[in-house]
């Protein structure tokens, strides 16, 4: 009876692992298909340059910058107090003297300063918000960094002192990362190399399909 229960449990675990593997495999196969066939598209929401195409459009994106936090005085007050009168028999005193200490600046805090739409093309990243517009040209791109846990990307370009950080949320992290990588590959002419890597990863994934256990005996 116990062996029968173990067999059924092992087969249920296999089916769950197989379903998870199949979902991952299909998603990766879709990436390969997109990399092979997708060459961007036009958009009425952004003025495109000659030869430029949009590879990703994300709405409700936050533009994030560090803002100085609230500061505070550090130290203690010295002096003495003198009576200046009374109210309803209660003495009111005024303290005179000087404060010995210093004002400590608040720590910089990442703050959303605008909300808008981010466009990834094969030439640049553009943020269009209600207050701010930022452009990061791939020709001036020094580097970029993804934070998949929070769902944001930081772009560093040579013509801007501060990096540009956009936040789109963790649910879009994988999709945004891939579309940005694909757009940059088209800009650099390295799509074939990117596709080769994707196909190699897919082949390795397909080789790792879960092995079924012996079927349970009735």
Q: Which two tokens stand for residue 128?
A: 């269009």
Domain boundaries, the chain: 2-68+107-206
Q: Whole-prediction pTM value?
A: 0.76
Q: What is the dihedral of CA 189, 37, 209, 7, to 10 degrees?
A: 140
pLDDT at 74: 56
Write the class of the CATH domain 2-68+107-206.
mainly beta
Which segments of the chain have a pLDDT < 50?
71, 84, 106
What's the pLDDT score for residue 4? 59
**How much is the pLDDT for 45?**
95
């Amino acid at each position: 009876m116990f062996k029968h229960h173990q067999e059924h449990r092992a087969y249920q675990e296999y089916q769950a692992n197989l379903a998870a593997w199949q979902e991952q495999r299909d998603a990766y196969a879709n990436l390969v298909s997109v990399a092979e066939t997708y060459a961007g598209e036009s958009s009425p929401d952004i003025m495109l340059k000659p030869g430029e195409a949009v590879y990703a459009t994300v709405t409700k994106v936050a533009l994030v910058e560090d803002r100085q936090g609230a500061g505070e005085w550090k130290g203690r007050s010295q002096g003495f107090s003198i009576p200046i009168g009374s109210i309803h028999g209660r003495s009111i005193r005024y303290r005179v003297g000087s404060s010995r200490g210093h004002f400590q600046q608040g720590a910089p805090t990442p703050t959303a300063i605008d909300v808008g739409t981010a466009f990834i093309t094969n030439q640049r990243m553009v943020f269009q918000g209600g207050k701010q517009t930022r452009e990061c040209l791939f020709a001036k791109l020094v580097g970029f960094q993804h934070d998949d846990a929070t769902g944001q990307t930081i772009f560093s370009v040579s013509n801007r002192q501060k990096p540009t950080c956009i936040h789109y949320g963790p649910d879009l992290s994988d999709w945004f990362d891939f579309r940005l990588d694909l757009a940059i590959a088209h800009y650099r002419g390295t799509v074939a190399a990117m596709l080769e890597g994707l196909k190699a990863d897919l082949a390795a994934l397909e080789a790792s399909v879960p092995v079924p256990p012996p079927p349970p005996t009735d």
